């Protein structure tokens, strides 16, 4: 056996100190493993002994966790790691062709490294860039839409990429406040960055500085009209005027046209943003601020009714808060659609000195990206909703369980939490009250099963993501066996609206038992992929035609996947079914998280069925016989 080169072995001298420091946190194993992989690119075998000693665990326990999660590597990767999304949305737009090209071009298969040690190729199941698929990730940079030619261009510029990218800038390219008379909004979230928004902003700022133009740039989130991104917006007395898509090559001509003086003369002029048909037909409640404000500006958040719900909740009794949420009809947006108020009431009624709020941000279904958008474009809404939940049930600590693939969202959330605590919207004595609440972001590690609430709790506790038997319910015995509220990102982000405007206001939207609005994510083979928030009751056909604009390829649409891998492929005969939980249940389908993935007539549905079974077999935690055996036999 070839002996390892001692010069290639990682320096683990400071690992015991890192374990000792981080080990003070409950459930510290996953955060420690993430810290080591961020440093070394993998989990060195020799570090497992040090971790086990520091946490008083067996080596088998630590190894069991490392081997359970797809994200953790046990051997060094190449200098650059390229991950190609293999989920359904990317398959619908040429992902398989991209995968095959990458293998041929690099001369390696998935989980292999080029002979020169430069590139490791890996699959990944959804990067949250479903509206601009196929997608891939180079180190931490998400790119898309990609095709073989674009992939070759990525390889050509790989040498200029930092294999260890630094955190995103607090003041990103183009973010200024020079007291100029006109605000120019340039979007910034994972997908718009992938489409070149940072380069556009930097080019605009350079031109503004050089020419002394009367513009100041604000980096807002995306409105979700991804087929028009990067979309720029100019603030005017009549409202914001939109232009798009604007690429970095268009910046010089854009500034030369002086759009603040003659907006309609620009070839990419779209009119008033709110009048763009894709946006005008929506009913934005949960997403009312998304794309309108700087996500990390507390003044901007408060100016758009932010923290109104929290201020009201601080004056209410816990049972009054729970009653308001119950009467609104708000149901879980993560897929199960369980009534939020009932879950909160159970936690409130369960006696315990310690209770927790957990935000399930493990958005793993193909075609879904609404959670990512919310966290990146309106993080204070999630923070406010979690804090209200804490007041309602008597919890003083919360955790956001975030999928590893959402590293930009992690950065935004961490920064937003710091700012909220500094302004006393979080922490001790919230807004001068006797109430306290703290939130921590915890990263998952690439296990689809951890979207299931009990597997998520096991992962938060630093264990393998194995599902727990129910009963007992997490509302009674949840995180560290304490009563726990587990809600999805969108559920919690909607709570401030219910508290600010009242239960009746929210319940006035929707149909039957499906109250409020449904954020639908259009993805796959569509001309106009993006976020659509509408009241429950509209049809899938309306989404595909009036919003989606038909297939991107121009071919007939053959099938639509709704609800992710556990949902269903719906033929045209089912597209007139109302979008509500009960109507979908009657035809043995599910709305799930609202992901809609479109396939044109070239799709091989038998191949999609095989993929679904393979995916379920790989992602099964292996605890239950029907899943463990059935997925493999299927």
pLDDT by residue (tens digit) across 185-237?
Answer: 999 999 999 999 999 999 999 999 999 999 999 999 999 999 999 999 999 99
- Count the Cβ atoms, other than its own, within 10 Å of residue 587: 12
Identify whether residues 105 and 45 lie together within a single domain: no
Identify whether residues 143 and 193 lie together within a single domain: no
- Count the Cβ atoms, other than its own, within 10 Å of residue 318: 16
pLDDT by residue (tens digit) across 586-601?
Answer: 888 888 889 999 999 9
Average pLDDT over residues 541-564: 93
pTM comes to 0.94
Please give the pLDDT value at position 595: 93
Look up the CATH number of the domain holding residue 105: 3.40.30.10
Among residues 140, 179, 36, 624, which one has the least CA distance to residue 405? 140
Does residue 610 form part of some domain? no
Does residue 388 form part of some domain? yes
Q: Could you tell me the two tokens for 191?
A: 């997908």
Look up the CATH number of the domain holding residue 330: 3.40.50.11540
Identify whether residues 357 and 463 lie together within a single domain: yes
Q: Give the range of the structural domain holding residue 245, as residue numbers without chain letter.
A: 182-275
* Domain stop point among 459, 478, 507: 507
Identify whether residues 19 and 108 lie together within a single domain: no
* Domain stop point among 244, 275, 306: 275
Please give the pLDDT value at position 3: 39
Identify whether residues 478 and 589 lie together within a single domain: no
Identify whether residues 342 and 475 lie together within a single domain: yes
Average pLDDT over residues 317-331: 97
Q: With bands split at pLDDT 50, 70 and 90, how would you rate the model's confidence at 250?
A: very high
- Count the Cβ atoms, other than its own, within 10 Å of residue 572: 14
Does residue 615 form part of some domain? no
Tokens 């919690």 -> residue: 492
Q: Could you tell me the two tokens for 545?
A: 């035609």
* Average pLDDT across the chain, whole number: 93
The rounded distance, in Å, linking the Cα atoms of 131 and 372 is 12
The 3 state secondary structure assigned to 346-380 is: HHHHCCCCCCEEEEEECCCCCCCCHHHHHHHHCHH
pLDDT by residue (tens digit) across 397-451?
Answer: 999 999 999 999 999 999 999 999 999 999 999 999 999 999 999 999 999 999 9
* 126: CB partners within 8 A, 6+ apart: 85, 87, 89, 363, 364, 365, 366, 368, 405
The rounded distance, in Å, linking the Cα atoms of 2 and 5 is 9
Among residues 278, 533, 265, 493, which one has the least CA distance to residue 385? 493
Among residues 452, 448, 295, 465, which one has the least CA distance to residue 358? 452
Identify whether residues 120 and 221 lie together within a single domain: no
Does residue 487 form part of some domain? yes
Does residue 283 form part of some domain? no
Please give the pLDDT value at position 423: 98
pLDDT by residue (tens digit) across 16-27?
Answer: 999 999 999 999
Identify whether residues 334 and 465 lie together within a single domain: yes
Identify whether residues 260 and 360 lie together within a single domain: no
The rounded distance, in Å, linking the Cα atoms of 287 and 306 is 12
What percent of the chain stands above pLDDT 90? 82
Please give the pLDDT value at position 173: 62
Does residue 1 form part of some domain? no
Identify whether residues 345 and 466 lie together within a single domain: yes
Please give the pLDDT value at position 331: 92
What percent of the chain stands above pLDDT 70? 95
Q: Could you tell me the two tokens for 553?
A: 């390829």
* Domain stop point among 507, 531, 557: 507
Identify whether residues 229 and 89 lie together within a single domain: no
Please give the pLDDT value at position 181: 79
Q: Which helix (H) or strand (E) holds 264?
A: none
Please give the pLDDT value at position 225: 98
Lowest model confidence (mean pLDDT) among 338-342, 553-557, 592-596, 608-612: 608-612
Q: Using CA atoms in the order 311, 370, 406, 61, what is the torsion angle rounded to 10 degrees?
A: 90
Identify whether residues 64 and 84 lie together within a single domain: no
Lowest model confidence (mean pLDDT) among 147-161, 444-458, 537-551, 619-633: 619-633
Does residue 131 form part of some domain? yes
More confident residue, 574 or 162: 574
Q: With bands split at pLDDT 50, 70 and 90, how would you rate the model's confidence at 615?
A: confident
Could you give the number of structural domains in the chain? 5
Please give the pLDDT value at position 7: 42
Q: Could you please report the per-residue DSSP string of 187-242? A: E-SHHHHHTTHHHHHHHHHHHHHHHT-SEEEEEE---S-GGG-S-EEEEETTEEEE
The rounded distance, in Å, linking the Cα atoms of 509 and 493 is 17
Does residue 612 form part of some domain? no
pLDDT by residue (tens digit) across 362-400?
Answer: 998 889 999 999 999 999 999 999 999 999 999 999 999
């Amino acid at each position: 056996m070839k002996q390892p080169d001692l010069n290639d072995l990682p320096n683990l001298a400071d690992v015991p100190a890192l374990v000792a420091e981080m080990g003070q946190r409950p459930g510290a194993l996953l955060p420690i493993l993430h810290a080591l992989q961020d440093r070394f690119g993998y989990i060195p075998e020799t570090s497992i002994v040090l971790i086990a000693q520091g946490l008083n665990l067996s080596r088998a326990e630590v190894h069991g966790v490392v081997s359970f999660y797809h994200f953790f590597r046990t051997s060094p990767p190449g200098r650059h790691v390229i991950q190609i999304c293999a989920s359904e949305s990317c398959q619908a737009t040429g992902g398989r062709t991209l995968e095959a090209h990458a293998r041929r071009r690099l001369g390696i298969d998935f989980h292999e490294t080029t002979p020169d040690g430069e590139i490791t190729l890996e699959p990944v199941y959804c990067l949250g860039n479903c509206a601009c698929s196929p997608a891939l990730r180079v180190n931490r940079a998400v790119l898309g839409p990609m095709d073989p030619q674009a992939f070759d261009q990525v390889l050509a510029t790989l040498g200029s990429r930092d294999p260890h990218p630094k955190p995103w800038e607090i003041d990103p390219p183009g973010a200024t406040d020079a007291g100029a008379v006109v605000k120019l909004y340039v979007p910034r979230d994972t997908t718009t960055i992938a489409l070149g928004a940072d380069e556009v902003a930097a080019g605009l700022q350079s031109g503004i500085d050089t020419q002394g133009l009367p513009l100041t740039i604000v980096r807002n989130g995306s409105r979700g009209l991804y087929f028009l991104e990067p979309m720029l917006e100019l603030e005017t007395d009549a409202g914001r005027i939109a232009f798009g898509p604007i690429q970095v090559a268009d910046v010089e001509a854009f500034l030369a046209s002086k759009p603040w003086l003659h907006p309609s003369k620009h070839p990419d002029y779209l009119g008033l943003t709110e009048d763009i048909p894709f946006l005008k037909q929506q009913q934005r409640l949960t997403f009312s601020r998304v794309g309108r404000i700087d996500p990390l500006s507390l003044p901007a958040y408060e100016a758009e009714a932010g923290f109104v719900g929290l201020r009201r909740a601080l004056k209410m009794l816990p049972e009054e808060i729970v009653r308001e949420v119950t009467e609104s009809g708000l149901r879980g947006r993560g897929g199960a659609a369980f009534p939020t108020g009932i879950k909160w009431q159970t936690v409130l009624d369960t006696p315990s000195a310690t209770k927790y709020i957990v935000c399930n941000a493990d958005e793993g279904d193909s075609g879904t990206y609404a959670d990512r958008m919310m966290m990146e474009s309106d993080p204070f809404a999630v923070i406010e909703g979690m804090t209200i939940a804490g007041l309602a049930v008597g919890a003083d600590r919360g955790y956001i369980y975030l999928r590893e693939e959402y590293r930009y969202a992690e950065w935004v959330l961490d920064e937003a939490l710091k700012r909220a605590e500094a302004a006393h919207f979080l922490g001790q004595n919230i807004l001068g009250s006797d109430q306290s609440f703290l939130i921590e972001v915890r990263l998952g590690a690439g296990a689809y099963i951890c979207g299931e609430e009990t597997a998520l709790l096991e992962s938060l506790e630093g264990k393998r993501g194995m599902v727990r038997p129910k009963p007992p319910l997490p509302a009674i015995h949840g995180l560290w066996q304490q009563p726990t509220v587990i809600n999805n990102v969108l559920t919690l982000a909607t709570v401030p609206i219910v508290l600010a405007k009242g239960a009746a206001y929210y319940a006035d939207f929707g149909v039957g038992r499906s109250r409020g609005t449904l954020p639908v994510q259009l993805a796959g083979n569509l001309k106009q992929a993006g976020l659509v928030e509408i009241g429950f009751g509209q049809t899938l056909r309306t989404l595909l035609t009036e919003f989606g604009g038909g297939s991107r390829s121009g071919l007939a649409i053959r099938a639509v996947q709704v609800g992710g891998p556990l949902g269903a492929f719906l033929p045209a005969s089912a597209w007139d079914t109302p979008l509500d939980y009960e109507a979908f249940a009657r035809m043995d389908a599910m709305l799930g998280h609202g992901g809609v993935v479109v396939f044109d007539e070239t799709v091989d549905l038998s191949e999609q069925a095989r993929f679904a079974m393979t995916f379920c077999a790989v992602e099964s935690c292996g605890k239950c016989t029907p899943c463990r055996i059935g997925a493999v036999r299927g």
